Structure formats: C-alpha cells, structure tokens
Amino acid sequence: MKKNKSNHLAKTRFLKAYYVTFKILSRYIILLLVSKFFDGERGIRIFERAHLKSARQIIATLLALKGLYIKLGQTLSAMTHVLPATFTKELELLQDQVPPHPFEEVNERFMADFGQPADKLFKTIDPEPIASASLGQVHVATHHNGAKLAVKLQYPNIDKLITRDLKTIKNIFSIIDFLFPSYNIRAVYDELSVVVLEELDYINEAKNIETIASNYKDQDNIVFPEVFHELTSHKVLTQSFIEGVKITHVEELSKYPVDTSQLAVDLIHFYCKQVFVDGIYHADPHPGNIVITPEGKIAMLDFGAVATVSPSMRQGMTMFVEGLIKKDSRALTQAIKMMGFIAKKDDEETLDRVVEYFYNKISGIKIDSFKNLDITQFQNLNDLIELKKMDINLADLTSLFVVPRDWIMLERTVVLMTGLTAELDEKLNPVEIVVPYVEKFLLGDDHKRLAEILLSTSKDIIISYINLPDDIRKLARKLRVDGLKVQNTDMKKELSGVRRSITMLATAFLACTSAVLSYLFYTDGLANQGFRFETGCYFFGALFILMLLRR
C-alpha cells in the first residue's frame, strides 16, 4: 500500500512538472509567433511581462513539488547569464520551509548510516528540529563529552526522490533545449546537477569547512564549526553548535560588543582574503549563513556551496584589466575567452562588436564612481535595443557565450555581499577596501609590471595619433586576418525559411506532446488537466495546419 502511494505521488509530481513546463512553453511559442508584429521596445516589454508571470508560476510549482525542485529554483536564481533578471529576482525570494518529519522516521537515517539509533550515538538529541526543509532537517544534540552539536541530516529514501527528480528535470531541460537550441539549456542542466549534488554531499561540505578554516587559523575574530568526523557521513553532518544571532538582526546585535560599521568592514576583508588571496571562498553568504557570536566574532555556517578562482580565470582577469588600461578591445576579447566565456560558435566579428559596445559604456567610469554605479544599467532594455540596431540579437548573444561556473558563483557572491554590507552600513564604500586586494591579486608585489603596462599604453597612444585612424586600422586588421568576405543577400531568404521550418516543427511537437499528456491525465482520473491538454492539442494542431497551408 505504501509503495503504491509512493508511486502515485511520484507520478503526480512528474505530471505536474510537465504540465507547468508545457503551459509556459506554449506561452513563449505564441509570443514568438506574434512578436514580429511589434516594434523592438514594445516586444521586449511584452516579453518582460511574460517573464514575470512565468516566474511566479514556476515558484508556485516548485513550492508545491518541494524536494529537489526547491534546491533547483535556488540554484537557478544565480543563473543571471541565462535567465532574465525578472526570473532571477523572483527566484531569490524562494524559501525552503516545510513541516519537519517525525523523529522516528529521521532515526532511520542514523540506523542506515551508522548502524545505531540516535540515542546511542549521542548523549542527548532534541527530537524537535531547529530547522527543516524539503530534503532534510537540523537537530541539536549533545556529544558524550558534553559538547553541544548541530546535526544536519537528509531524510531516508531521499536518494530515490533525487534520482527521479533529476531525471524529470533533465527531460524538461532537453525539451526546452530542443525548442530553443541557441540558449544551450542542456549545458545549464549539466551545471545545475553538479552544483546540487555537490551541495548534498556532506563529506564534501566537511572538507570545505576545514579547508577554509585552515586559512584563518591565525585570526581570532572569525570562527568556524568543528566537524565531528566519527558522526558524519554523506547524508549526515555533525558539527559544533555555534551560539549567535543572524548578522542582519541589528536590534539583537546591539546587545553584543560589536559596531555594525566595523562589522561590515571586517566582512569585506574576510571575503577579499578568501577570493583574492586564498582562491577558495564560501559562495552562499546570505544572512542566514552568517551569525555573530556573543563575543562579537563572525561565524560562517553552511559550506555546501564553495567555489574556487581557477588559474585561467585569474590570468584572464589580469589580461582584462590590462586591456582596460591599454584601451585594447582585442585584448579584452582574448581575456574573456581565457576566463572561460568561450564562444559556442566561431564568430569573432560579432564577439568583438559586443565587447567594444560594453567597453565604450564603462570606459568613462572612474574608480571613485563605483560606489554609485548601478549595475542594472548594463542589463536593461536599451542594451538589447542598441545591440539590435547593430544587427546583434539575443540569440546571437546566447550563442556566443557560455558563462563559466567560476564567474556565476563569484558574481552571486559579490551581489549578496554588496547587499549585506549596505544593510550594515549604507555609507560604506567597499571599493576603497577591495581595490588594494585586486591590485595585488592581478599584479602581485611586482610594481614593475604596472609600470610596463603603463609604458606600453603610452606607446600605443602615441602611435594611434601618428598612425591611421582607428576604424581604418581595424579594417586593415580584419582584411589581413579574415580576408574579404562578400555577403550573399539571398541567404536571408534561406534563413527565413529555416526559421519557419523550425517553428512548424516546434508547433507539431507541442501538439503531439499535448495529446500524450492529455491521455496520461485522463487515464489517471484528472479530467480537468486532461481537457486542458486536449484543447492545447487541437490548438497547436490547427496552428500547424494553418502554417502548412500558408507555406
């Protein structure tokens, strides 16, 4: 009976995930079909409204499905390079809070991993968890030596649920990748699955704690939990319990011997050392993961998400700064490639144009202006409209770049830290603290290196004034490297025909899928959902026939 109930639950979750996926895909297919009737700015705004509606539907579905889906949503919130800002902002609000499982059920995890019940492993353990989520919960316990412990564990049989959910998510991403191949959604799934599985391996998290803690063994203002390895497994993490309050609970912090402004400064130094000196850092610094102890020390929790700065990323960042100083867009392009923003198709010309466009936007910004810099100005509708005028559309951008995981984690960490320090001290200018770390990170202690860059820049400036104008030099370089290319205007007609064929194929695919899902829902006794997909089948089928007749 229990097995049948579990299978029915799994089937219901499967159908619900597919139902919402095809509902949202249908919305975007229709929008793509009618978007050609709107001008650039109006069309983009219509898509923005669709993004907001879709994001809210996704969040409601993730909360209903629970399990790995919530972890998926939280991870997707960092995918700013793939998802529109509307999506990521909504997903950032996703909270994984569910009623706890009974302790008798949780005890099965201890039996499975250690062969003993909780009351044998610990001197005492509180049956009521202090936190619970879709995949597990946290209990307070006492070690036999008297130490207070925090025991984080995953629910029994969670592996089967994770396996099923990952398979469903992979299939959904494959469908989206089929319909929208230029967005490389399949690669996003590969990245997501790695991130999620790493965060669910508590042995890996224990190693992360000890690695980062070892870099601060000489600093007494930062504390880390101590791992109890004999009570830790891949699904159970036992660590010392750290007393304190969340860093953003300012009223409670007033009872502690801390100055919030100094706390913000210490936090920036703490993260700068991790990123620019140690090369490994805690990649999820939201307020719930940072507490202040009664002694006023900073304590970090939850080391499931930890990232590193790879050698290629470091070299690329160094070259990028050199390119900015020399005003060399070609060097910027090479730096972007070195950092891992690898082009998915060989289109150097478009890549150079995109880099030069954004370089021109930031070239006039001075260091002392960064405090008031609004990053969203580089992610707004005007950028897409201006690039469209340059004959560069969103599909071109997404087909050019694969944003590396290193950068995704770093960008998310910077955004979280910026918001956190601003909440502690809104007058603080983080750039004043960060710049010395960046200088040393990029140039080291060798000041001759900076002198060489500046000397080279001076030479380039002099040459640029006595040589050919910039546009002519670029044309000469282009002819030398790529030769002369003649554009065939008939290709546009051929490409238009290919696009129509792809749209027809996608419409036929949606019609067939709607028919299959309608059948599955009807056989499962869900008549309302079955009727909706039956209607969808008729709609997409009629649309396909109409497109076929007009071809």
More confident residue, 386 or 226: 226
pLDDT of 190 reads 79
Percent of the chain with pLDDT over 90: 21
pTM of the model: 0.70
**pLDDT tens track for 474-498:** 545 555 555 545 455 454 555 455 5
pLDDT of 376 reads 40
Average pLDDT over residues 99-106: 88
Sign of CA dihedral 187, 188, 193, 195: positive
Length of the chain: 551
What are the residue ranges spanned by the domains of the chain? 99-241, 446-485, 490-550
The whole-angstrom separation of Cα 120 and Cα 203 is: 22
The whole-angstrom separation of Cα 45 and Cα 47 is: 5
Beta-carbon neighbour count of residue 171 at 10 Å? 15
State how beta strands 222-223 and 298-300 pair: parallel
Average pLDDT over residues 86-103: 76
Task: Out of 4-13, 229-238, 246-255, 524-533, pick the least confident.
Answer: 4-13
Task: Out of 4-13, 374-383, 541-550, pick the least confident.
Answer: 374-383
pLDDT of 338 reads 85
What DSSP letter does each residue of 293-361 carry, written as one string?
-TTS-EEE---SSEEE--HHHHHHHHHHHHHHHHT-HHHHHHHHHHTT---SS--HHHHHHHHHHHHHH
Q: Which residues contact 397 (CB under 8 A, 6 or more apart)?
A: 354, 387
Question: Which pLDDT band, with edges at 50, 70 and 90, does 323 fall under?
Answer: confident
pLDDT of 222 reads 93
Instruction: Please state, rounded to an integer, the average pLDDT across all residues of the chain.
Output: 76
Beta-carbon neighbour count of residue 31 at 10 Å? 15
- Looking at the predicted structure, is the pLDDT value of residue 441 above 70? yes
More confident residue, 47 or 536: 47
Residue 11 zone, left/alpha/beta (φ > 0; ψ -120 to 50; rest): alpha
Task: Out of 263-277, 408-422, 507-521, pick the least confident.
Answer: 507-521
The answer to whether the CB of 18 falls within 8 A of the CB of 521 is no
Average pLDDT over residues 285-314: 89
149's enclosing H/E stretch is strand 148-154
Average pLDDT over residues 334-350: 70
**pLDDT tens track for 379-431:** 444 444 454 554 555 555 555 566 777 887 887 788 788 888 888 888 888 87
- Looking at the predicted structure, is the pLDDT value of residue 76 above 70? yes
pLDDT of 27 reads 87
pLDDT of 448 reads 53
pLDDT of 496 reads 57
Average pLDDT over residues 276-287: 89
62's enclosing H/E stretch is helix 40-65
With 0-12 / 13-18 / 19 or more C-beta atoms within 10 angstroms meaning exposed / middle / buried, residue 490 is exposed
What DSSP letter does each residue of 400-441 carry, written as one string?
H----HHHHHHHHHHHHHHHHHHHH-TT--HHHHHHHHHHHH
pLDDT of 269 reads 93
Give the C-alpha distances (Å, rounded to integers) separating 436 from 278, 309, 444: 15, 18, 10
The whole-angstrom separation of Cα 497 and Cα 507 is: 15
Task: Out of 18-22, 62-66, 109-113, 455-459, pick the least confident.
Answer: 455-459
pLDDT of 472 reads 47
**pLDDT tens track for 10-68:** 667 778 888 888 888 888 888 877 776 776 677 778 888 888 888 888 888 888 887 77
Beta-carbon neighbour count of residue 16 at 10 Å? 17
- Looking at the predicted structure, is the pLDDT value of residue 231 above 90? yes
Average pLDDT over residues 228-254: 92
Name which of 425, 14, 395, 1 is nearest 179 in CA terms.
395
